[in-house]
Structure formats: C-alpha cells, structure tokens
Structure 1
Amino acid sequence: MPTNEDEHTVHYEGAEGGWGSVRGIAETAWREAPTPAALNTLRRQNKVKGFMCVSCAWTKPAHPHPLEFCENGAKATIWELTSRRCSPEFFAQHTVEELKTWSDHDLEHQGRLTHPLRYDPVSDKYVPCSWDEAFAKIGAELQAISPQDAVFYASGRASLETSYLYALFARLYGHNNLPDSSNMCHETTSVALKKLIGSPVGTCILSDLHLCDTIFFFGQNTGSNSPRLLHPLQEAVKRGAKIVTFNPVREKGLEVFKNPQSPVEMLTPKKTQISTLYLQVKTGGDIAAISGMIKHLFEIEKRTWTEKKQHVLDVDFIDQHTIGFEELKEWATALEWPKVEEESGLSREDLLTAAEIYAEAPRAIAMYGMGLTQHVHGFDNLAALTNLWLLKGNIGREGTGISPVRGHSNVQGQRTVGISEKPELVPLDQLAEQFGFEPPREEGMNTVKACQNILSGKVRAFIGLGGNFVRAIPEREKMERAWAGLRLTVQIATKLNRSHLINGKVAYLLPCLGRSEEDLQASGPQAVTMEDSLSCIHGSLGKNTPASPFLMSELAIVAGLAKATLAPNPKVTWDAWAADYSKVRQSIEETYPDQFRDFNERVFTPGGFYRGNAARERIWKTESGKAQFTVPKSMRSVGFADALGRYRLMTLRSNDQFNTTIYGFSDRLRGIEGTRSVVLMHPDDIAAAGLSDGQLVALASDAGDGVHRQVDGLTITPFSLPRGCIGAYYPEMNPLMPLWYHDEESKTPAAKGIPVRIVC
C-alpha cells in the first residue's frame, strides 16, 4: 500500500484514533456545552442495559471496552445532550425566510427543540401550539385527502417499536408510501443481495471477524463512518489476517490506526497498519477491478489443477449451491486485461496481487459501503462482488461472508419490521389477521418516486419521522421550489434543520425525546430496540432528564397522529402501546415469530440476539433456489462515457459530520480545516485543466439533459485521487445530481459518480 503522501496534496499525517480523536470530541463538547449527564451517558454507551449510539449501525459487542464509543459516536451524543435550547422565543425572533440563509451547522447549533410548533404563513414564523391542537389538525388534514397522496418518510434512527407502529399507521390509513433513508444509501444492497443470494442484508456476524483470514473493503470509509469497527480490524491484523482495500480516496482509518483504548498506543509512537494492500480504484471502476480478480482466479484454478490436482475454487459448493457458473467463466476468460486496467484505473500487477491474497485465504469477508451502492450500475457492483465470493464458497461458512456497513443506527431494522414501499416484503396477510383490516397491496413510493410525485403535484402530504429529507435528496433546488405546493408537512425531530424551513401550506414541527433521554410512560421507564448491520437486536434505555417537559417520544407522537387520523379499531391499541412498549414488542413477535421469538425476554441479551439469515445457512431464497452467478452488463458503474473536461464527482462525508448533520468544519483525517467549500482534485488534473491550487470555481452538471445545475464558490484543493475523479462534500453537492440519475435496479441516487464540469 502507499505509505508516502504526495507532498503537493493536503493530507493528515497522523493515524486514525489517538489524540486526534480525543481532540475532535473535546472541540465538539466545547462548542455544544453538553449537560453534565453527557459523561455518564458516554460511560453507558453501547453497553448492556445502556444507551445505544444514535450514530452508525455497527454492532455492540457482548464484552464491551471500558469506553465503547468512537469519536463520531461521542459527537452524536454530545450533539443530542447539548445545553442549548431552540425555544419558541428563538422562533419569535427569526422568520423562516431569514433562517433559510443560515448554514446547516448553525441551524442545528441552536440546540434542542422544546415545544410543538405550527408554521404561521402570515408572520412567516413558527409559533407554539399544544400537542392536542397539532394532532387534531394533522389528523383532519390527512382525513381530507386520499391516502395514496400522502408520504410517510422515516430516517434510520427511529426504534423498532416506533418503526413498526409507523408502518402499521400507514397501512391502516391506506398506503405503502414508506420511503426511508435506505432508499438513498443501501437499497442497492436490499435489491441485489435479495436477488443473488436470497437475503436482503449481509451474512456476517461479529465472530466471523475473529475467524477470517482476509477482509476486503470496497468503497467504505471506516475511520469516519464506523470507527468502532477498527477495533476488530486491528485485532484481525495482529493475528495475521490481511486486509485489502479498494477505495478512490486514501481514507486514513483503513491505513493506520492508533487505538484510543490502549495506553501503550496513546503514550508511544506505536500504531497499527491496517491495510496490507490499498488500491485507489477509479470511482466507478469496481466492476472492472473485481472482474480482473475473477479472471485471475480462474487462471490460478487452471494452473493449480494442472500442476497439483488441487482446486482453488470451491467446486463442490459451486456444483451444489449455485447457477450461472459456466456463463461467468466463459465471460471472464475472454476478458482482456487492457480493458480491465483502463476501466479500473489499476494495474494488472496490483489486481493479480489482490487476487493471490484472496485465493490463498481459507476464509474471507467482503465489507462495503456506499462507494458500491450509489452508482447507476450499483447492482452490477454487488453482483461482481457476489461472483467473487461464491467462487470460493465464502458465504455460509464461519469466518466468511458479505457484510454491508450501514450508516444510520436502525436503518436495517426499520425494513425488518415493515417500513417498505414494496408490499411483497411485508407479511400483509398476517397483519390483516392480526389487526382486522385489509392492507393496501399496491406498491408504494420510494424516495425517487416520492420526489417525482411531489414535483408533479400528486403528493399532498409529507410526514417525516426524523431526518433531513429535503437536504438529503437529489435535485434539491427544484425540489425546494415544489415543496410549497404540498398541503401538509409534518416533521418529527430533536433539532432544527433545513427541511423544517421548506414547508407546505399547513406545517408542524414536533419535538421528540432523544434516545439518551428517559422515556417515562404510564407503565414506567421504557426501553427501545435497534437492529445493527450484522442483524443483531439490541435494547437501549435512556436515563437522562429530557431537554424539555413538553417533549414526547417518537412512539407516542406516532400513536397520537394515528389516533387522530384513523377510525377506532378494537384490535389496534394505540394507548396501550404508548403506555407500555413491551406490548409493541409482543405485536412485533406475533407478526414476525421466526425472527422475534421471546422478544421481550431477549431485549438486553449481551451482544444482541441474532434474528437469523437464511443465506448464512446456505438456504437460498432466490427464484432458482440457488445462489446466482451473473455476467456484468457494464464494466463501469457510472452511467456516462468519459469526455474531455468531464469529471467523475464522488460526494464525501467529512470527519466532522454524520449524514446531513454537520458538527463542525474540521475534516481532520483528510487535512482540510475550516471549510467545506472545496473541490478535491489530483495535482496533475489541476495542471492539465489550467487551474491552480486555491482557485475559486464552480461545478456544473454534465448530465446531458439540458438542465442547468451548478454549485458556486468552491476552492480547488490538491488531493490524492485517481485521475479524472474529483471529490466534494455531501449534502452540498446534491443540487448537481439529477433525480433520474440512480441505480437502474434499486433507484438509489448515484451520488458516487456524478458527471460534472469545472466552471471558472
């Protein structure tokens, strides 16, 4: 792997972790002035009968470290437990039009929302209202429209209990319009893995990381997005496992790590090199890179069988458990290396080295992020990766598997308990029997479809269960203009963000408890549950005093909205569910008995309880009943051809943000401080384009559809990237992405390969 940064590029000389992480946490704490409860919350974070982090979805170990949190997890907790309050007095001083000019950071920096609020269009301000008033008015508005014209969006943060009731509310009301944040990040996983191996989620559990011989990473920034994963990675390296990374960006966390939990590493120069081989694949070049490895794997198989009568491929597994092998073999054998090198941006020698590491490893794990899923041919990215893993039988054995690394803390779990626009993924017959109604059977709206229908005027109401939808979606400027055509917008949130300022004609902002706060209902303090990215269910118990006595829990808000909207149903007990969340878990168990057996008894199982995965047992719930090899439709995952002056833009998240939440302006792990208005670019590309370091430019869409899309005021910044690829921050670059530019199969926006030009 490269060890020397180009001296002409910005970079970070330290390791991930170490004192840099401590400093990052301290800086956030200084800005937010958290309540004294923050320290005790961090002590309980990600532990049994503790508080489950609201940041990433990485698993919670059965035997946690003394401090089982990472830099970003600590920032998320401090951000939630800020002492700042965004009260009715604040809104009395500022119009919504004025607040639209504020930055994302400054909006959330105002602190926790304290009162339910109604938008007053006459004064252009939010004004306080009662909960009863809010529920009654929202219910009346929903009753006045067709259910098919309403959208119920969910971010990935709400608990399993809340998510289950939210999905039930939508179906009792009469629609499957349940887009969620998965539509914008890992929907490609749900579609591709479901079709190829019969499971919509990854196949690994935590113990697999302790048994594997190699781990391959594709398009995932562990250091910023899931730093606690670095602990098992460090342990794997120390016991001899090899880690191979494919990523256009040289992310520090997958290069070197200094463990903050280790006094020796904190007090000495000691640190761990994580990746044995780090390959900066061209963005959109993963299909070609993986296919090159597959081609060489067939060559190794032929050589070892000829010379030693030994197989490198798992021929018994292939024969018993797969289809499509011969077609893949024929295609890969005919593949030409110059094409592989051109499309991947990598040398044949490097790809042969990666393939040899994979071939020699008895047990291998593949981990990936949105660098694979957010492409026009993202499905083919995952299909290529699945091909490679099936060739050696690396699915369904201990120490092996495919493992997407999810972002939001319960984004996978929400799908598990019914938040889906696809009726075939939900046990509708069981719900019908359980609750005495006929669920809608029509496919609902995903994120892209919801946006299209908002633009066309079909959607009349939008309810947001958390998140920052308007800021997170493509085609943002056009979407913001169309948003005013909505009749009703409702946002359930802990802090103010830009989506709360883009309102329909009737708009409410409903403040909820944070997960770290005590949720006291009629039966006493309530626990909630989440599913991590390894399919394990964990309980969480908040203990902090709520930021305001006027807050309600997300679950209670959903129940209140449902009661105000729906006709009474003796089998649907909103009051009982809101009073005692264990009753919700009983209902979840009744709906999903195989996955949630003895749910209430297992809430606080150390390490979580595993809900199971058929593919891990080599039971393939596919159309053929077997795992599927496929031949790629394209050798590149971007949806456009290269042209003079056209660049492949990948959107990035900084070390100082989580999704759309911007904690500050320090992207320490890339060496960028004080700004997010940058274009990261290879020094040779800067010179070839006649640009200069520090020059102010704009990025313009080059999608070829005749629509003008442009982001101004960006500073050219030299960075170690493949030629022809540039990077800039999400969500600021979302205006450059057309709504139609998405994965062909899953409709996931293709944010990792946007065609753009530089405008001086």
Structure 2
Amino acid sequence: MSQDDPTHRPGQPDPQVPRYDAPAGGWGSLKGIASVARHTQVSSDALKALWRQNKPGGVMCTGCAWAKPANHETVEFCENGAKATIWELTRARCTPEVLAAHSLEELRSWPDHDLEQLGRLTHPMRYDPESDTYVAVSWEEAFAGIGAELKSIDPADSVFYSSGHAGLEAAFLYQLFARAYGHNNLPQSSNMCHETTSVGLKQLIGSPVGTCVLPDFEDCDAILFFGQNTGTNSPRFMRTLKNAVDRGCRIVTFNPVRERGLVEFVDPQHLSAMATGSGTRISEHYFQVRPGGDVAVLAGMIKLVLEAEAEAPGTVLDQDFIDAETAGFEEMAATVSAMSWEDIEEASGLDREMITTAAEVYLGAKKVIAIYGMGLTQHVGGFDNLGMLVNLLLLRGNIGRSGAGISPVRGHSNVQGQRTVGVAEKPGLVPLDKLEELFGITCPREEGMNAVHASQAILEGRAKAMILLGGNLVRALPDSARMEGAWGALDLTVYIATKLNRSHLTPGRASYILPCLGRLDEDMQATGRQAVTIEDSLSHIHGSVGAATPASEHLLSEVAIVGGLAKAVLEPNPKLAWDDWTGDYGLVRDLIEAVYPGDFRDFNARMFEPGGFYRGNPARERDWQTEGGRAWFTAPSGISALGARPGEGQMTLVTLRSNDQFNTTIYGYEDRLRGLSGARDVVLINPDEMARRGLSEGQRVDLACAVEDGVERVVRGLAVTPFDLPAGCVAGYYPELNPLVPVDYCETRSGTPAYKGTPVVLRR
C-alpha cells in the first residue's frame, strides 16, 4: 500500500481531516517568515543577523540546537530560526511607561503572543503591589534588594533555574554563584524535555548525550525516527535528511502525528525544486504509533531480528560486539521473546506487517542511526522507550562506529551545553573538588532540586526564592494552573529576560525583572566586543558574536547580571573576580577549560573553528563509562511507556507545538504544516472517535485529567477539531494544556513530565 493510498489504516493518512499537502520548506517557509515579519516591528538589524547566522564568526541561532556545518551554505537559517531572530530584533519597546499603563491583573488576561509583542524590555524593574505594576529601578537598587532577600533565607530554600538562552560563560558563572551561595538547586529546561536522555543514556552507554556527529549522516544506510517533529522544531535538519535520502539512505518514522516535515521537503536553496515545487520524500515508511507504543514497536522489531538470527545463525547479530562490549542481552532477549504479537499490535496500534516492514529496513542496513525527540522521553515509562531503542541498536553494533549511533534532537539552543558546564542539580555530574580548589569555596554535596522537585517545593510552601535565567517557567511547567496559584507565595522572584512573558505576571512578595542583552545584540564590555559560546545537539562548541544595536542603554549582559547578583550576595573573595570576568569573557572560558580540561582543551583558540570543535564522547569510541564498563541491554518493565492502559472512557493526551511557535513563544496562530490556523484552544481527535462519542466539529468540550490524586485539573472550552490521530488519543497545544499534566506524573527515573502520555477524559 503506497503512502498516498486513500484507504485509511494505522500508519496511513486519513483523507477526512485537515492536512497540509504541500512539502515542508519551500515557498511555505518563506511565507511563514514573511507572515511573522509583517506583524512584528522588525529592526533593520534582523537581515544582517540572518546573513551571519550559524556561520563561523557569526551569531549562533537562538532557536534550536541543531548542528552548524563546517561547509556552510549561503543561507544557514531556517523558518524557525528566522522567526526567532525577527521576534527578538523588534523595534517595539516594553518600557516602564508601557508597563505603568497596564496592571498585572489586566496583563494576565492577554494572550501569550500579545505580551511578547510589547517588545524588548528596557529597564530593570521592581513589582509594586500597591499599583499592581512594575516600576523602574536602578541596577544598584535591584541588586541590593535581591541581595538582601537572598541573604535573609537559607540558601537551600532558593532555586536557580536556567533555560537554554544563556551562553556557556553565563551558565558557568551562574552555577558557580549557586554553589558559592550554598545549594545545588539548579534545574534547567532539559529537566522537562530530555532528562530521560541524560539519566537513561548515562546508565545504558555511559554518556548522557547522543553519539552522532554530522558526518555520520553522510555515511548511514538507514535512519529510524521516533517522536520528533523536525519540520517545525529543527528545520535546518531537513537539509541533512534530504541529502541522506538523495544518496540512498532509507528513513522510517514512528510518530502518532503525521508531521509534514518528515513526509516531504523542498530545500528553499534549491532553485529548481522551488520553481517546480517538487519535494523530496523523506520517510520511506511512516507509521502512526499509539502514544507510549514505542516499546511495543521496538519489541516487535527486536523479535524479528532475533528470529532472523535463529534462521541464519551468525549472520544477523553482531555477536562479537555483544560478547565483548555489552551486558544484559540474555535477559532482554528472553523478555522480548515472551511478548505476544497480539499484545504488541494492541499496544502499538500497528499490525505485524508494518513492524516487519520496519525491521526489514533495519536488517538491510549496515549502518543505522536512531533519532528521537520528546515523543520518546516525555512518558512515565520513557526509560523503557529509550532502553528498547538502545537495545535495537546494540543488536547489530550500531553504537560506537562511524555512520551509526543514537541521536536525541535537543530543542533549545545551548540547553545541552549548560549541563556540560555545571548547571545540574546532581553534584555527581560536576567536579566540585576542582571548583573548591580554584575558587576557595565550599560546595554543597547534597543533591539539589530538579524542575519537578522545585515545583513540588513551591506547591508545598518550602521554596522561598526563585531566580530565572531566561525562560517562561510558570507557563512551561506541568500543573501550570496550580503552579501559578502557588508562585505568588514565594518571598522572592527574579526574572532575567529580554521580553515580557506570563511568568513575570506572577510575582512573589518581592519581584524584579532584570532586562538582558540577547545573543543577537552587540555585547561591549571593558575589553571590547565580547563573544559567547554554545553547544549544539551533536556536542560541538561554537563561538557567537552579536552585532545588533541593543534595545536600550540600560541593558546588561547575562554575565554582568550574574556577576552583579553574586557580588550582592556573597562575601568578598579574591578568587571570585566577578568584575574581571564581566569585562573579559575569555577569562571565563579559561576557567571552564581549567574545570573541564578534557572537553574544552584550548577553548579560546578553538571557539571559532568552522563547524565548531567537538568536545568528544567516550561512548562514540566504545569507552563505556557505565557500571561494569559495558553497554547495557535492558528488559522493559512493560509493553507500553504509558505505565497503565487508559481506563474506561479515558484517552491519552499528547501535547504539541505549532508551526508558529518555539517553546512557550507564540509567533502567530498558523499551524501551517498541520493545515490548522486561527486558534489554539482546540482538542484534536480522530473522526471515528468523534462519531463514537457523538461529537461534532467545533463543539466546545472540557478536557479533564484522569489521574486520581485528589486534585481536579480541567481545561475548559476547547473546540473539537477532527485530526489524523491513532485511536484512543487526543492532542492539543503546549503550553495551553499543561494544567492537565500533574507535576508528579513523570518518568519514573528522571522526573521528565509526561506531556506526551497523560490520561484524560472529555466532558461536554
């Protein structure tokens, strides 16, 4: 059956629902960029920034974390990256006068999109409860006020959160400040996205990050995709995939949602393709697996690999590799072999023929890369998902050699790099002895709070202060309605940001907004123009130099803000030279190299290498830094990553991001690649499911969480929208549906919230 066969079955498109028939990329991407530019007051610096974006010596995109090639094209930005640049380099200004005209109570009624449309923040501000507005203060007043608050509480009661916005320099100083102050409460945005990766891969192969580099995509024979929407979240990756397909690589995709970017793509830089509209078919096979059904799919594929080996012993498995480099094979094989095809088909939503088709692609390839995103990690059983994917790769030695490996796609620029330089709540991940030696401080050794632990502490009234280095955490967290209600009880909230967002509208008893330079802005300090560095998804480090005119003379860099806070809180220490570090970021890079000499050798000299410099990965060299010194096969704890099958009348919620969105930033209301537009208060549902439940298109319903913990969680007034989804699941937009995900309904080992697999019920 061809991919365009109108007969609908699992894994094939449903002709009854809205869909986007044009390829991803192409003219659609250019129109998408133009649409955002039209209703944004775009600065003249935006075009200059886009020309320099993701090129050596230029500015690294603030959007996704996909790799930057050494041999760059004329244009190295994508639709998402262009929107991010346009959005930040706006001429609109969110001045104290603008904020004085609107109470926080009023602003809370505004859509997220409209809040950020107010433009770039221009002055440090303090919340004034009498007027319910933010008022301008001097930097000296802000630092002194924040310092006094932090000095008055137990450091263990404070949380220092970081998004992926900051560069490595600010991130390193931020974690140093936290530890000198006295805590390891350093959650970051990866806690909510890829913490399953950080914990799971570390246990299984000894590395918390993926093993692939860009040349592997030029050498692989097959790519398996699980739960990642490349066309929207990291469109520059599409060119890499297109080139792989053009040379004969076979791609198989498993995703509950048929994402257009993994179906067909037109490279906007190929004039002939643009002229004809002729796209490249990306996925040879596309299977719409049920949410949480990846365990079952992978179990079926592994069963077929084991059966092929039994039929032709010594020809299928890489037995030498298994014997010499791995452990746990027998238990895993026995567990998978005992699973019935009936259970596999039920849990996955796919039939045996489909899974056999995928297994045949895997068996026919000598070198295989597995790519995955949050569709694999954001489940209660996310570790089982990941473990099974590692199992499949290990069977034929597809980790630790050229052209093969495992490659999680990180969503936010530099979110991986911040963990690399110490923004981590687990002290075992950080060379604390080295920090103590270099800086004359005493580092706490107790494990700190991750995002889920911090959320629980806020709900229970145990947390006293929250510092946010970027991000829109109140909106991004699970259980967001409850979090918003509890947030105001904090003694102190500090928001380091470029634009106003919904988190800022939930102040603590004392609250400050500290406006910072963005990565795109020129950063002039005592020793001249400064560069920052970031790490991409493939563990390469890149220098980035902003050149745009700052939005205000009152802005400070993130490095300067971290230094200013630290000086206001900590006792003087000649080894903590905050002013010197603010004046010359090269000195900070020297410190990073001193703490992490293996990863950052000759840091300052190498930071502008074309393509970035590779900091290395032991697992890529088959140096398994695990318990036992081997790569581990693991037996799954069940056949679904959902943990438990949905009960009577229940469905599984999958949260999505639209084509006009990056994380919690909403650029507009077009979800072009899904054929949707105009509203975000929708619930997507299979037409057959609609018919069974007597629902009509456009009908307003409520969606309620079905987790029984004594808390009612409901999002009301969602418009029923027919959409091509597997049976038994519904979908809707993140972050609007975050209130339905309990804060402690998360992956059992890592605490990653189950945004892709929460049980819900529809109410009329």
3-state DSSP of counterpart to 1:32 = coil
Distance 1:639 1:741 in 2: 11
Shift of 1:317: 0.4
2:213 is the counterpart of 1:196: no
Q: 1:359 aligns with which of 336, 356, 363?
A: 363
Pairs within 5 Å for 1:311-390: 311-390=315-394
Cross-structure match for 1:669: 673
Cross-structure match for 1:69: 77
2:457 is the counterpart of 1:453: yes
Deviation by residue 1:93-143 (Cα, 9 ceiling, x = unmatched): 011111111110010011100111010011111000000110011011111
Pairs within 5 Å for 1:405-424: 405-424=409-428
Pairs within 5 Å for 1:299-698: 299-305=307-313, 310-698=314-702
Distance 1:449 1:644 in 2: 31
Deviation by residue 1:588-625 (Cα, 9 ceiling, x = unmatched): 00000011000000010000000000000000000111
Distance 2:399 2:532 in 1: 32
2:15 is the counterpart of 1:11: no
3-state DSSP of counterpart to 2:696 = coil
Distance 1:229 1:169 in 2: 36
Shift of 1:25: 0.2
Cross-structure match for 2:718: 714
Equivalent residues of 1:640, 1:755 under 8 A apart: no
Deviation by residue 1:492-512 (Cα, 9 ceiling, x = unmatched): 000000000101110000100
Cross-structure match for 1:81: 89
Cross-structure match for 1:181: 189
Cross-structure match for 1:231: 239
Distance 1:595 1:652 in 2: 35
Cross-structure match for 2:68: 60
3-state DSSP of counterpart to 1:227 = coil
Equivalent residues of 2:335, 2:636 under 8 A apart: no
Shift of 1:64: 1.1
**Amino acid paired to 1:111:** G
Distance 1:35 1:523 in 2: 27
Distance 2:116 2:620 in 1: 41
Distance 1:292 1:624 in 2: 28
Distance 2:600 2:488 in 1: 42
Cross-structure match for 1:737: 741
Distance 1:456 1:302 in 2: 55
Distance 2:714 2:335 in 1: 40
Cross-structure match for 1:2: 3
3-state DSSP of counterpart to 2:39 = helix
Distance 2:369 2:673 in 1: 26
Distance 2:692 2:676 in 1: 23
Equivalent residues of 1:527, 1:540 under 8 A apart: yes
Shift of 1:639: 3.1
3-state DSSP of counterpart to 2:704 = strand
User: Which has the higher mean CA deviation after the structures are superposed, 158-167 or 329-338?
Assistant: 329-338
Equivalent residues of 2:112, 2:501 under 8 A apart: yes
Deviation by residue 1:551-610 (Cα, 9 ceiling, x = unmatched): 111111000000111011111110000000000000000000011000000010000000
TM-score for the superposition, normalised by structure 1: 0.99
Shift of 1:302: 1.2
**Amino acid paired to 2:675:** G
Deviation by residue 1:47-89 (Cα, 9 ceiling, x = unmatched): 0000100000000000111110110100000000011110011
**Amino acid paired to 1:87:** T
Distance 2:487 2:14 in 1: 45
Q: 2:166 aligns with which of 158, 161, 166?
A: 158
Shift of 1:213: 0.3
2:246 is the counterpart of 1:245: no
Unpaired segments of 5 or more residues in structure 1? none
- What is the count of residue pairs matched by the alignment? 756
User: Which has the higher mean CA deviation after the structures are superposed, 638-647 or 56-65?
Assistant: 638-647
**Amino acid paired to 1:595:** D
3-state DSSP of counterpart to 2:312 = helix
Distance 2:112 2:291 in 1: 28
Cross-structure match for 2:120: 112
Q: 1:34 aligns with which of 21, 42, 49?
A: 42
**Amino acid paired to 1:397:** R
Pairs within 5 Å for 1:697-708: 697-708=701-712
3-state DSSP of counterpart to 2:236 = helix
Equivalent residues of 2:159, 2:463 under 8 A apart: yes
**Amino acid paired to 1:711:** V
Shift of 1:334: 2.0
Deviation by residue 1:642-689 (Cα, 9 ceiling, x = unmatched): 223200000000000000000000000000011111111111000011
Distance 1:642 1:732 in 2: 22
Shift of 1:640: 2.9
**Amino acid paired to 2:330:** E
Deviation by residue 1:305-359 (Cα, 9 ceiling, x = unmatched): 2xxxx41111110000000111112222222111100111001011011011101
Equivalent residues of 2:378, 2:755 under 8 A apart: yes
3-state DSSP of counterpart to 2:517 = coil
2:276 is the counterpart of 1:268: yes
Distance 2:574 2:64 in 1: 38
3-state DSSP of counterpart to 2:653 = strand
Shift of 1:196: 0.4
Cross-structure match for 1:281: 289
**Amino acid paired to 1:571:** K
TM-score for the superposition, normalised by structure 2: 0.98
Shift of 1:13: 1.2
Equivalent residues of 1:37, 1:544 under 8 A apart: yes
**Amino acid paired to 1:562:** A
Equivalent residues of 1:711, 1:733 under 8 A apart: yes
2:300 is the counterpart of 1:292: yes
Q: 2:108 aligns with which of 80, 85, 100?
A: 100
**Amino acid paired to 2:467:** I
**Amino acid paired to 2:628:** S
**Amino acid paired to 1:56:** C
Cross-structure match for 2:10: none
Distance 2:542 2:410 in 1: 16
RMSD over equivalenced CA pairs, Å: 0.8
Taking only the aligned residue pairs, the percentage that are identical comes to 61
Equivalent residues of 2:703, 2:715 under 8 A apart: yes
Distance 1:696 1:331 in 2: 45
Cross-structure match for 2:157: 149
Equivalent residues of 2:26, 2:277 under 8 A apart: no
